[in-house]
Amino acid sequence: MKKAVYPGSFDPITYGHIDIIQRMQPIFDEVIVLVSTSPQKKYLFTAKERQDMIQESLKNACPGISVDTHDGLTVEYVRAHGASVIVRGLRAVVDFEYEMVMANMNKKLAQEIETMIVFAKPEYYYISSNTIKEVTRYGADVTSLVPPPVIIALKEKNLILNKNKIF
Residue 129 a catalytic site member: yes
Task: Say how far apart CA 7 and CA 95 lie, in whole Å.
Answer: 15
DSSP label of 87 = E
Q: Which residue is nearest to ligand ADP (CB)?
A: 16
Q: Residue 165 Cβ, how far from ligand ADP at the closest point, in Å?
A: 28
Q: Residue 51 Cβ, how far from ligand ADP at the closest point, in Å?
A: 13
Q: Is 16 exposed, middle or buried (0-12, 13-18, 19+ CB in 10 A)?
A: buried
- Residue closer to ligand ADP by CB (options 13, 160) is 13
Residue 91 a catalytic site member: yes
CA distances to 135, 136, 142 from 139, rounded to whole Å, are 7, 5, 9
Residue 41 a catalytic site member: yes
Given the residues 3, 23, 91, 133, select the one marked as catalytic: 91
- Residue closer to ligand ADP by CB (options 95, 114) is 95
Residue 70 a catalytic site member: no
- Residue closer to ligand ADP by CB (options 17, 160) is 17
**Spatial CA neighbour of 14 closest among 109, 105, 126, 147:** 147
Active-site amino acid positions: 17, 41, 91, 129
